Amino acid sequence: MSIENPALAPASAAAATVHQDFIRQIVRDDLAANKHQAIHTRFPPEPNGYLHIGHAKAICLSFGIANEFNGWCNLRLDDTNPGREDPEFVEGIKDDVHWLGFQWHDLRHASDYFEVFYRSAIKLIEDGVAYVDDLPVEEMRAYRGTLTAPGRNSPYRDRSVEENLDLFRRMRAGEFADGSKTLRAKIDMASGNMNMRDPAIYRIRKVTHQNTGDAWPIYPMYDYAHCLSDALEGITHSLCTLEFEDHRPLYDWFVDRVDLPNHPELWQALRESGFRTEPAKPRQIEFSRLNLSYCITSKRKLAQLVSEGHVDGWDDPRMNTLRGLRRRGFTPAGLRLLIDRVGVSKQNSVIDYAILEGCIREDLDATSARRMAVLDPIKLVLTNVPEDHEETLHFPNHPKDESFGMRDVPFAREVWIERDDFAEVPPKGFHRLKPDGEVRLRGVGIIKCEQLVKDAGGNLIELHGTLDPTTRHGLPGADRKVKGTIHWVSAKHAVAAEVRLYDRQFNVPEPDDEEDGKSWLEHINPEAKRVVQAWLEPAAAKVAPEQRFQFERLGYFVADRVDHRIESPVFNRTVTLRDIWAKQAGQ
C-alpha cells in the first residue's frame, strides 16, 4: 500500500464542507427513495482491549452519519467471546466515545440477545439449514478445503432435524465438553467463498461471562451474532471495514434465513426488558480502514506491548490507543479533523503520520494558550540589572486571539534560557546568542553576551551579559534590529517540572514489514520517550490536569491527566511545532 499525504485544507473549511463520499450518497439515495424513515447506525467494538486510532474512523463515521441525517447510533459491545473481555474495557470504550464528542442512542450488549440468538438457531435447525458437528477443530479446518480446492461435507452433516435439535439443546444444557460439538450452518462446502463453507454458529465454552455469568455454556460466533444484532436493533446501514467484504454474503444469509421481522416469536421476550426497536433488514457497507504510517493497530500487538513492559500501560502516551493519545494531549477536534481530511473510500492505503500531527497542530494552534518553559537550561545573568530587581511583565496568552487575555510574567536579574540558544562557535546562519552577540530576550529587550563561565573541566555553566533597557517595546530603542529572539524563564520565580518528551512509537513507516529481517518489536523507537527536568513560568504550573499549552518555540504540551499536580507539575509533549521527521528524512 502507498503512503498518502492529502493536501491540507483549513480547519474552518473542513468544518463547513458538506461531506461527500460513497456511503453518504447511499444514505441520501435511500432517504430519497423512502427506503427508511430514519437512519440507524451502530458502533460495535469487542470489549477485549482499549480502542485505538483506527477505531476513531469507525466512530466518527457511524456516529457522524447518524448525526448528519438526524438518525441515531447505538454503542453495542460485542461480548460474544468470554474469557478475553473485561468490564474495565467496557468502561474504557464508553469513555473514549464520549471523549471523541459523541453520544449513543442506546447502549447495548450482544449478550442482551443471547436468548434470541439461541431461538434463531433452533429455527435454522428446524428449517434444515443447521446441524451439530462432532468434528474436532483441526479436522473441521481440514474439511474446509483451500482457496483452490473445495471443502468436503462433514460425516455429521446429514443428521436428522430431530437429532440436531436434541444435541443442540443438550449443548445448551451443558452436557458436553468444551470443543466437543459445534453448531454449523448448512450452506455450501464447495463455495468459492470460504466463509460460506458451513461456518460455525455456536461453540461450547464453559467460561463465565461478564454479563450473563454461568448461564450459558455455549456462545454464538461473531458472524452470526453481529448481523442478527443489527437486525434486532433496526440498523439500516451496518458500516464495517473492508476485511468484512467477503463476510457480507454470510451476513445476508443469516439475516434472510432467520428473518426476524417476520418471526416475532423469536424476539418478543425482549419486550419485557423494555426493548422497543422493531427489527429490520440491515445493509452492510464496507469502507477502508484508517492505516497510519509508524503505527501498529493490531489489538494483539498492542496488548503485547503492555504485557511485555515495552510501555507503561494502555494509556501510555506512546501508544496509539485513544487513551494514550488523550494522555499525550491529542484533541478530539484534531482527530475528527484527520478523519474528515482522509475521507471515506474502498481503497486501502497508508496515511502519512505527519497528516495526523498536522491536524493536531492546527487545532492546538487555535485553542492553546502560550507559556514559556525551558527544557535544557543554562543560566544567563544580566550583570547591569540590580541584584534585587524584580518586575512583572504582561504577556498576551495568545498572539492571534485577544479573547485569551493577558497574563503576568515575573522578570529578574537571572534567567534560564535554552542551552541550544547559545553557541560558543556558532554554525553558519546561527541567529541566536553567541559571544559578543546580541539577541532580543522575548518581551524584555536586547541583550548582549559578554562573558562565559566554565567549570574546572572546561564545561560551560553560566553566561553573563547586559540588557539594553531602552530596547523594550514602547521605548525609544525598541526599533533597533537584531536577527534573533529567544524565550526565557526567571530563575528566581521558575517552577521545576518533569517534562516527558514523546515521539512516534516506531522508527520506520511500516513496523509490520519484516523484509529487513527484523521483527516489529525491533522497530520500537528508543527516543519515543525522554524525560527532562524543566523550568516553567509560574502561570504554566498552576493548572489542572489536561490543560494544554504551546510552550513558545518548543511545541505543544499538556499537563499529564494522571501524574500532574500543582505542587509537582508533569507535562507531556503532544507534538513539536514543526515536522522534525521530514527534516530527518531529508524531505
Tell me if 478 is assigned to a ligand binding site.
Answer: no
Average pLDDT, the chain: 94
Flag whether pLDDT at 10 surpasses 60: no
Question: Which CATH class, in words, describes the domain spanning 290-369+497-587?
Answer: mainly beta
Report the 10 Å Cβ neighbour count for 358: 20
Chain segment 68-78, per-residue pLDDT in tens = 999 999 999 99
What is the arrangement of strands in the sheet containing 445-454, beginning at the earlier edge strand? 485-486, 438-441, 445-454, 460-468, 377-382, 414-418, 489-490
Tell me the whole-structure pTM to 2 decimals: 0.91
- Taking CA atoms, 155 is separated from 132, 141, 203, in Å, by 11, 14, 18
Q: Are 337 and 359 in contact (CB under 8 A)?
A: yes
Please state the length of the chain. 587
4-8, 43-47, 58-62, 498-502: which range is least confident on average? Answer: 4-8
| DSSP label of 18 | P
Decide if pLDDT at 67 tops 50: yes
Report the candidate in 579, 584, 559, 503 with the shortest Cα–Cα distance to residue 373.
559
CB 78 within 8 A of CB 44: yes
Active centre residues (catalytic): 46, 289, 299
**CA-to-CA dists, residue 142 to 90, 128, 374, angstroms:** 36, 24, 64
Confidence (pLDDT) at 17: 57
Residues facing residue 108 across a β-bridge: 76
Q: Does residue 582 carry a pLDDT above 90?
A: no
List pLDDT tens digits, range 329-361. 999 999 999 999 999 999 988 999 999 999 999
**212 annotated binding-site participant:** no
Task: Round to whole Å and give the CA distance between 398 and 409.
Answer: 14
124 CB contacts (<8 Å, ≥6 apart)?
130, 185, 201, 257, 258
Cell of 76: 453495542
The answer to the question of whether 130 is labelled as a binding residue is no
Residue 326's pLDDT band (cuts 50, 70, 90) = very high
Say if residue 243 is exposed, middle or buried (CB neighbours under 10 Å; 0-12, 13-18, 19+): exposed
Instruction: Check if CATH label 2.40.240.10 holds for domain 373-487.
Output: yes
Please tell me whether 402 is known to bind a ligand: no
**pLDDT beyond 50 at 532:** yes
Q: Mapping DSSP to helix (H, G, I), strand (E, B) and coil, where does residue 575 land?
A: strand
The widest CA-to-CA distance across the chain, in whole angstroms, is 101
Give φ, ψ of 143 to 5 degrees.
Answer: -70, -20
All structural domains of the chain with their residue ranges: 290-369+497-587, 373-487
584 falls in which pLDDT band (50, 70, 90)?
low
- The bridge status of strand 495-502 relative to strand 570-575 is parallel
